[in-house]
Structure 1
């Protein structure tokens, strides 16, 4: 009876979504090395051939996981921005805190959404999915861009600071001397943003 429940659990919803969620669970438990189509199928309670109906191999599954990851990433940034001080600087602090929280809470998913390098077709697909998340950064930085400054300069400075800190923290580069998020985010005030 337990096997039957496992095998039919996808019938309560969307099999594609169930496979993506299974993939995210596998990533969380074992990193990128743990992600296989066969394991996703087993986790979702379907035959090992079922993922082929929804994804073009493991790369297709990774793109779908990245798409879901970027949705969650965007939501996390906006949730933090909406919960904080509603000034331009307060919202910027909020999205950065949400960025760091997402990286800390779901490092394997964070790694997947920023790891597409080799296949240009996959990179294009992932960039389409990343655009709404990047737009959060762009919209939040816009009121802080000094007149006559290219907005991309400020966006790049903010993104580099928060992304670099997240990666350094995730890879243990700070060792026991990890600075608190607030200390790092205080560096935002040193970026050439408008007062």
Structure 2
């Protein structure tokens, strides 16, 4: 019998990596224990030893996918100018770049049958990515504003724009800064101004 190259320490990681690749290529419907095992080069029974069925594997994949997403956002926020407006723009650019680099993951993270429901904890507000969004939006919340409304405005605008941008609605997605700048102008005009 031929031994696989995966051992106790990295088989779980290999299965999660295989699952991420399947999601990128075919969306949530492409994900199965059998396909992950085949992609990782192990027997189809191997995932059962490491995960509690497909929901357990999806949970592990969700944690990894949201970790990648959070990393994109945090890296973008930390780069360049650090004024409140610049950090907001940086966050949006990081979101868009994640969509360009990981369109498959973006499509399943928040989709109806996506990965968000598999993230351990109380929900999106507890996820690191959401906390980054909350921190960047905080300077734009006035004394009488509901912070969740401001966060939803920013999130909805950049998420919707990113999905349209990645799908080519504004032309070839790479190298087109005009639409992004127009959306940033709109974001600056929807009443989000630094609180006094």
Is the helix fraction higher in 1 or 2?
Answer: 1
* Cα 1:22/1:122, change in 2 over 3 Å: closer
Counterpart CA distance in 2 for 1:120 and 1:161 is 19
Matching residue of 2:99:
103
Residue among 54, 59, 79 paired with 2:55:
59
Matching residue of 1:143:
139
Partner SS for 2:68: helix
Counterpart CA distance in 2 for 1:121 and 1:30 is 19
The offset of 1:129, in angstroms, is: 8.8
Matching residue of 2:14:
18
The offset of 1:117, in angstroms, is: 4.8
Contact 2:28 2:114 (8 Å CA) reproduced: no
The offset of 1:90, in angstroms, is: 0.7
Q: Which moved more, 1:180-189 or 1:138-147?
A: 180-189
Matching residue of 1:165:
161
Partner SS for 1:53: helix
The offset of 1:191, in angstroms, is: 2.3
* Cα 1:130/1:185, change in 2 over 3 Å: farther
Give the structure-1-normalised TM-score. 0.83
- Work out whether 1:91 is the aligned partner of 2:87: yes
Matching residue of 2:26:
30
Q: Which moved more, 1:10-19 or 1:94-103?
A: 10-19
Q: Which moved more, 1:137-146 or 1:8-17?
A: 8-17
Which blocks of at least 5 consecutive residues in structure 2 are unaligned? Answer: none
Counterpart CA distance in 2 for 1:89 and 1:10 is 47
The offset of 1:140, in angstroms, is: 0.7
Which blocks of at least 5 consecutive residues in structure 1 are unaligned? Answer: none
Extract structure 1 runs of 4+ deviating beyond 4 A: 116-126
Contact 1:78 1:136 (8 Å CA) reproduced: yes
- Work out whether 1:189 is the aligned partner of 2:181: no
* Cα 1:17/1:138, change in 2 over 3 Å: same
